[in-house]
Amino acid sequence: MAIMTELSFYQKLERVPLLKIATIYVVGLFAAPTLKFSFSSFQYLQDSLILLSGIILCCFLFKGGLFKYCYLIGYYILVLLFGIWQFWRSDPLYMENHFSHFQLDSYVVEIVQEPSTKSETTRFSVEVLGGYMQDSFMATTGKLMISLKATTKRPLRYADRLWLKGTMSAVPPPFNPFEFDYREYLKGSAIYHQIFLHPSNYIRIEREDSHFPDVMVLALRTRESFLKKLRRYCKNEEYYSIAAALLYGFRGEIDEANIKAFTNTGTIHVLSVSGMHVAVLFGFLSLVFRYIPWPLRLNWVPVVITFSIIWIYAFIAGLDPPIVRAAIMISFVLCARHFKRNSSTLNALVAAASIILLCDPRAITNVGYQLSFLAVLGMLLFLPIFEKIVIVKNPFIRFLRDTVGISIAAQVLTTPLTLYYFGQFPTYFLLANLLVGLPSTVTMYLGFLMTINPIDWLNELFGFLLENFIACILYSLKAIDRLAFSTIQIDIIDGNLLFLSYAAVFSLLYAYQWKDRKYCYLGFLCVAGIVFITIIQQIIDENTERFRIYNTRNELTIAYFKNQQAIIYSTFDSLNHKALQYACGREIRVWASEGNVRFIPLKSKSVRNNYLVELPFGKIVVMEYFSNELPSAELLVVRKNAIQKLPAAVNKILPREVILDGSNSLKKSLQARTILDSLGMKSYLIKDNFAYVWDKESL
């Protein structure tokens, strides 16, 4: 009788044939942003790919000896360079016919994203098909983000064509520390420019009906009909918005307080159609088809139907990376099961990741994509260990164990990245997932039954049950969110800590799996490095004063931080104002603990005022008009184009530096800078520029 021996680490890697090439391709994608090409050098890169492909083909044909090694080395170099080329190929700089290279008077565009409306502003992305320049039409390419004020016109829809006229501009970078980088977010969708439209600046172009309907249009129309049916039986608006997100990924109508509850408890993934939703749908279909006696010659029918429904659902939910990943993985599992082949979930995961990145290389920078794949990888690697340690036979206890195990396994690999991007950790994520897991699964089953059920009274019952399950979910999450320390806010970790975190996790995992003591020591050494760096950073933070004058456009926001306490002066009426929170709310949460923020509003914005702001490091004069009563101060902040008597104000206040904030026009700001330069006075211009930032060490 043969003795079964456990495969080594490298033998297991050999069973994932795509892993090696996928890793090299991903390295190329990650390395690409650090490389900058001119237009000509990018053309050389394209030519070198063609030349290298020819050389590798020749080496493969000759084989043997030196040619074998040349083939392998050249093959890996080709994949690396291909990844770099893939990442940059959609950049406007390297696209000769990109619309931004031409001075177009008007544009012809096609909507390629379902329009969403919030705060009376409709936003959507378009493909620029061409434009008019001196009455002649020129075909172009490239994407554009459009923001449109509320209108009484017929609502715009996916695939509509428009003629529009307006001023196109590059998407600006973030102007404040820790501010959401909207430019990088849009770059992930190959969007580099935006335009703000008035309803009078566009005309809908009527299109002839095509004999071959757009698949995405059909999917969105189908979702629209499903949402109408859902609204008919789910009468409470709050519960309807949660159900729409839970079932079909439609999050346009969810209240911000509910979004916050899901985010703070670590259950926001429930509202984003992802692997869990596809798995529930797959389980639902498998359950239905299990009780249908299919003839042997028709055993392929349930596979085709399941495959089709899974991908139709993926299209309806918007083809976000998490659901595409899940759909691809389940497609591999379906095919393997039908053809009676052994299926590797890790193989399916790597294949799904590779296919998505080949179609959309900039998805590598998408936070949702990264977190989605790390969560699934964590479940594949750590869930078997958890099940091996915690052995139970009772079905109910096994369900609880699996729920806890999945939550922990997913959290292990996603936590470092979450801290890197967001600087917060949901303390009670286990409790939240336990309380939400079963109700959300039941809610999805009810929603799917409601979708296919034609009986009205039965749908009324489903709607009643669905509302109660969602009420239960919201009540549980809001109760957890109100608990003490429900969300831990920490400093955003840097790249070094992120690297050490994953090095520690994978070293300890390898040490446990293959009983290798060296990697155990390496893992604990990485943990010690994390603790040491964190302690040093904590000491530095506690002894650092931070002062900011944020770029909040026409408003003024001044902040001072020390010892997890903050003093905020602002012309906004509240610390919770949306614009203030967007610009600097995240940094305030990082440097000041909850309850230790003192907010002082600067009122009377309808008339010009001067203010004296006193902070521990000195005084600041905020000047909106010249006055003979201006006191002396360390800093002078000039607002509302008050530069007529700027030399007299400087001579009176005697500041060390003058700050020209965002309420000044760019023209007046530049004039003021010229005046200050002639006086030998140091100045800083905030208009279209980064916030004024210093720490104590830089004074």
Residue 66, pLDDT score = 66
Identify the CA nearest to 349 among candidates 364, 334, 327. 327
What pLDDT score does 193 carry? 93
Is the predicted pLDDT of residue 2 greater than 50, yes or no? no
Cα dihedral sign, 570-575-581-584: positive
pLDDT tens for residues 606-615? Answer: 688 899 999 9
State the virtual CA torsion across 150, 208, 194, 149 in degrees, nearest 10. -10
Q: Could you give the 3-state DSSP secondary structure of residue 152?
A: coil
- pLDDT for the residue numbered 252: 66
The pLDDT tens digits of the residues spanning 385-418 come to 888 888 877 877 777 777 778 778 888 888 888 8
pLDDT at 150 over 60: yes
User: pLDDT at residue 699 above 50?
Assistant: no
pLDDT at 210: 54
Pick 245 or 506 by higher pLDDT: 506
Q: Tell how strand 121-133 and strand 116-118 pair up.
A: antiparallel
Decide if 663 contacts 522 (C-beta within 8 A): no
Q: Which carries the bigger pLDDT value, residue 34 or residue 551?
A: 551
The whole-number pLDDT of residue 536 equals 87
pLDDT band at 4 (very low <50, low <70, confident <90, very high): very low
Q: What is the mean pLDDT of the chain?
A: 83
**Of 203, 209, 221, nearest in space to 153 by CA:** 203
Q: For residue 548, what pLDDT is reported?
A: 94
At residue 35, does pLDDT exceed 90? no
- 262-310 pLDDT, tens digit each: 777 777 766 666 666 677 677 667 767 776 777 777 777 778 888 888 8
pLDDT of residue 1: 42
User: Above pLDDT 90, what percent of the chain?
Assistant: 26
Average pLDDT estimate for 130-149: 89
Token pair for 58: 């020749």
Question: What was the pLDDT predicted at 276?
Answer: 64
Tell whether the model's pLDDT for residue 659 goes beyond 90. yes
- Find the largest Cα–Cα distance for the chain: 102
Average pLDDT over residues 373-383: 84
Q: Chain centroid to CA 74: how far? A: 35
Q: Is the pLDDT of residue 207 over 70?
A: no
User: Three-class SS of residue 651?
Assistant: helix
Q: Work out the angle at residue 328's Cα, subtended by the Cα atoms of residues 227 and 187, and round it to the nearest 5 degrees.
A: 75
Q: What does DSSP assign to residue 101?
A: G
Short-list 191, 198, 200, CA closest to 112? 191
Q: What average pLDDT does range 215-230 have in this prediction?
A: 79
Most confident of 68-72, 105-109, 263-267: 105-109
List the single range of 125-129, 195-199, 484-488, 633-637 with lowest mean pLDDT: 484-488
CA 238/CA 497 separation, integer angstroms: 40
CA nearest 148: which of 195, 203, 205? 195
pTM for the whole thing?
A: 0.81
Helices 456-481 and 256-264, packing angle to 10 deg: 60
633 pLDDT exceeds 90? yes
Q: With left for phi above 0 and alpha for psi between -120 and 50, is residue 341 left, alpha or beta?
A: beta
Q: What is the model's pLDDT at position 275?
A: 64
